[in-house]
């Protein structure tokens, strides 16, 4: 029990947890092929790499019954007109769900099933999104500030990035007339046609 402390605080200004076991930083260069506007992506990379999002993980053993917790921070910005976003994934154990609790910022969770079902929910201060079993999830920062949310999911869920890396999600979140809009992803192929 003592090996894993049971509580922590979240700094309300920075959104960072008072303690964590792992700090992951995902760079623009880690997202090659994910943004629709490849020319805008290339131009941005040439201007210099940068951190798109960060994850602070509070670890627990990766066994059934345990829960992984943490904080994700998606920085504000766009590649072309597409907002900064996470890679997105299915859980390797597809049947495992997840909960996001948004602390700060504005954004969206884009979700998709292996059969190509599409859904999305908004994230804002104090909103909670339940990601049901079988739904892949990607979070998108549609605001001007960091999007910061707490997450909790089964420790043995695992992450499967495979098909998302290849085809992306069916929907993209882009800026249209100074506000976020969800549009079809031209690169996406319905699962039955892959
Ligand atoms: C994990 C959970 C989040 C994401 C994080 C980064 O199940 O959904 O911690 O890992 O927001 O996203 P991604 O797609 O790069 O793992
Ligand atoms: Zn997840």
**Ligand 1 and 88: CB distance under 6 A:** yes
**Where in the sequence is the domain holding 139, given as residue range(s)?**
22-193
**Ligand 1 and 45: CB distance under 6 A:** no
Give the count of domains, the chain.
1
Segment 32-43, tens digit of pLDDT: 999 999 999 999
| Residue 1 in domain | no
- What DSSP letter does each residue of 69-98 carry, written as one string? EEEEEEPP-EETTEEPB---BB-SSTT--E
- Report residue 1's pLDDT band, with 50, 70 and 90 as the boundaries: low
pLDDT above 60 (res 66): yes
**Ligand 1 and 139: CB distance under 6 A:** yes
| Residue-level pLDDT at 147 | 98
pLDDT above 80 (res 65): yes
- The CATH number given to whatever domain includes residue 146 is 2.60.120.10
| Residue 65 in domain | yes
Q: Say if pTM beats, i.e. exceeds, 0.85.
A: yes
- According to DSSP H, which parts of the chain are helical? 38-47, 162-167
Distance CA(147)–CA(184), nearest Å, equals 23
Q: Which two tokens stand for residue 44?
A: 């941005």
| Residue 4 in domain | no
CA of 138 to the centre of ligand 1 (A): 8
| Residue-level pLDDT at 127 | 98
| Residue 2 in domain | no
Smallest CA separation from ligand 1 atom 2, residue: 151
Give, in order, the Cα–Cα distances in Å from 13 to each of 16, 100, 145: 8, 19, 12
| Residue-level pLDDT at 101 | 98
| Residue 9 in domain | no
pLDDT above 90 (res 5): no
| Residue 58 in domain | yes
SS3 59: coil
| Residue 15 in domain | no
């Amino acid at each position: 029990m003592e090996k894993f402390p049971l509580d922590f605080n979240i700094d309300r200004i920075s959104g960072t947890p008072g303690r964590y076991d792992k700090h992951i930083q995902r760079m623009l260069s880690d997202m090659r092929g994910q943004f629709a506007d490849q020319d805008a992506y290339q131009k941005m990379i040439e201007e210099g790499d940068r951190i798109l999002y960060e994850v602070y993980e509070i670890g627990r053993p990766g066994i059934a019954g345990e829960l992984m917790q943490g904080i994700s921070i998606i920085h504000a910005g766009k590649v072309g007109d597409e907002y900064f976003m996470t890679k997105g994934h299915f859980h390797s154990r597809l049947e495992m769900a997840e909960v996001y609790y948004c602390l700060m910022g504005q954004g969206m969770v884009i979700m998709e099933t292996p059969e190509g079902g599409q859904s999305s929910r908004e994230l804002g201060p104090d909103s909670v999104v339940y990601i049901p079993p079988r739904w892949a999830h990607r979070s998108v920062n549609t605001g001007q500030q960091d999007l910061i949310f707490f997450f909790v999911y089964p420790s043995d869920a695992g992450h499967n990035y495979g098909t998302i890396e290849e085809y992306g999600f069916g929907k993209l979140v882009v800026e249209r007339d100074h506000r976020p809009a969800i549009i079809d992803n031209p690169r996406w192929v319905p699962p039955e046609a892959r």
